[in-house]
A and B are shown apart, each in its own frame.
Chain A
């Protein structure tokens, strides 16, 4: 399985190169990979449906309990099959949709990387590697949404999607780490059977953090707003990421962790309420939208809400409904998105109100749309019908707020039928619309996917034991944590769900009939709500954040060097001073002051006078001379205290310095008096504090000695090992020769800097001349 996951990344790296060979057939060529993966995963069907869980393990960072380990059970298998099966047709479709696009190669690189990340996500058996793949899907999806990077809107929407999902990802990481710590293992297979998880004091935090991650990823209320905006992506991306795969990552994780966390009340309440609200809000927004991709995006939000709610309900029926609804939705939504892309491609508009009667021009697309639409509407004999019936059944079986959820579910079903009709019937039947381009049938690459997916919906609806035996039963076992006895069928006899379905069909038909007339009032209502919705909060937050960043930059990076230095110095003074005084105390010692010779006093006095005089002098020559006096005093100190080499060097350097200063500084203007009285006092205080701190630090260092000096080694080894009698020189050129080499480099770089600045000036002058 490691190779199955990595193959996507490998082929992604080769994609631009393959472009050169395959040219326009690139989509077909690359689709061989997911097609092969579909077969590979399908080969596990007998084992997994027999109840086996396939585990494979590669140690990655064993010391951190992070592994590239994979688990293939019913749930993973269903997702893996959907990802590779739908991925096959998406790649073919993209080849036709983006034919001749200048960045097609780049598109395939990101798309294949995304596919591989998604496979890694659903197959991971390790919380940390799952998180890594999770973030990879966020990043690749950002690149895909912003694929038309010259378009400002696309970039903004991509950034929005990234911010929302990555912010949730941060919370998720905290949740997963806590989960791993509490259950004592980061392996998911072990987390699911860990004891005492629900009794842990961290359980509330775990649930909230994990759900923040999954809700943002799966566009649950109040984070649903990024998903419709993500439709700025090219349609193949929307069809793949924002219907069948990425947005289902959150759903996957909730389903995956359901056996471990599902018994907790908070889990039930949060999932049911967020899911229920998202479902209803999504279908309402889908009904009120007119752009074909927007309608589909909101209906995806609806489906994601439904799935979340079903996990939250958590009964046997809910789990069966979850698996069936998920499968059904992926099939018809993938198909419908591809059809939407074909419509856009062939008619030149996304606006549903301008489409109509396209059945004659695009017969194949129309048939696929009709079937997929029926499945979306939940009508027999499509697989979507089974999913919807089970969903109603599940809501009836709910233990928490069953009646409220039922009202929401029936409303959703009714509106859903109207939405399905708007997408699948409106463009193809009725009066011929007025479209910018003269419509004709889409190329084979663009109708193949919808046709296959729609046909699969039909096949699974008529023969429901096929998906049941293959993956649905095993997936239900994974989500429930134990096996559940059931069979899928179209006909369950006349029962409450069927009656509710019938009622919603009538209501849906009425709502569709009113579709044209409700546009204007609904747009008005939505305009009002868009001013208070969560998306407004997002924009407020973003502008506040950039505002804060600008303010902070203005304050901290104000360009005044004095302020920078004061901040740095005072931070040092406060931190070091506090530590020194609190740990060591204030000790103004004067040890050995009586042994100081009079000439040493004289030098000390000279240095102090120089230091003070230089502050008050207004003459540049005086300042330079004072600096010279200070430097030579330092040289004297070196010589008096047994450091002849230092003394010699200091005298040489000091001489050079004075010459340099005299040469250069006198080309600069004289000292001006810039500072105000306040600045003088402020800088003086800072200087006194810093000088005082240094004195105290030195006294502290002199009066405490934690360990002996290491110089003994150099003194003893100098002659026997390095054949040198001047120990300081031996250290410089032998024991610490690399340091000296570094020093030479510093000087060389400084010399080059000086030289280039002088040259630069010469050239500027030449230019002027």
Chain B
């Protein structure tokens, strides 16, 4: 399976910044350094348990570099949730306002635009390398990390080329370039150079490890730049099969897989992905686009052994992947058209989207998101919290998603006499209002139009108990809560959905 929910949160390394060593390629670096920019961002995160407002604005800096068409390439995490953005060149005291043109949150890349043409004077777009460097090849990292104001250069070698989770989304895994050059907070978005050409973009590290810095490698950058060519970022398509290798002889016999054939067997197909309805459980994937899949899921690509997913990594939505499949004791060819991946039950980090909410008589409802879970994690966990964790992991596999667009959570109770006996429901998942199934937040106002004998009756997942609000008094209580707790509006559903 390509996605893995379990991964350490990767923060920035805290090791000391290296001083700049003299470089053999000093002249060429000085040409590139003019194109490496510092990004000043003021950002603000929404408050997911008080979704009508946001937390205190914070500021930070990152790096980026100028590419063709007078654009700046940087990390999506440098500019996400930005309220105000400025860019600055190494030798120029002026800061220029910038705006985000594209953001690929699944690959942590973004394109900035600067309207003032003066900014680009004296700069040249960087050149990208043709291929990835190999292990032990020497690379340098440019950027504006902590420890000073001016541009910094660190040097190291390629330590590893592997797949890893991109922490910005929390769920997506792509190729990464691991280097031992110091990569520190502020380096994010800066170029990684090999033979004076850009082969990667510095983006994350591991807080408790030494000399491990990660860069987004060339193929991921290229794919992103290709994706936005049509003026829109569609993101990676997801095949959506959960598989394991056919390594067991008894299983091989059971599947009728002849000797000499190898592959991985599909045990689950995600309903929101490209393979759904096309590949089936018990299908053995023998090859992808002509490359034989080994029983560990690897293929040979350009002479290297890589995961078969690498073939998919290089494709855009709208393209196809062709599998040779062992199904029902016969080998068949299956074409999977790769489609855009829209999955409300994939709990990626969310950026630049305000949380929807609906408040009824002091009870605040909002959809389940990764951000909400991070807010709830700060409070002592109760059993409802653990149910939310379960839903994030198993909503699809255990069929909770069926007929739903999202899971609706009672995120907060604003105490009011009308809801004073409702505490045990907080953090619960709302499944029914007045007998109507709740498939999305927007279903609540409709269901409230049909009270049961003058009462709103709310039911929650996994709970035998239910919550009752007198219908007539509810709207007045809602108004009172708005005043009492300083809330601008009882809901933002219409505003957010009409956007």
A, B co-complexed = no
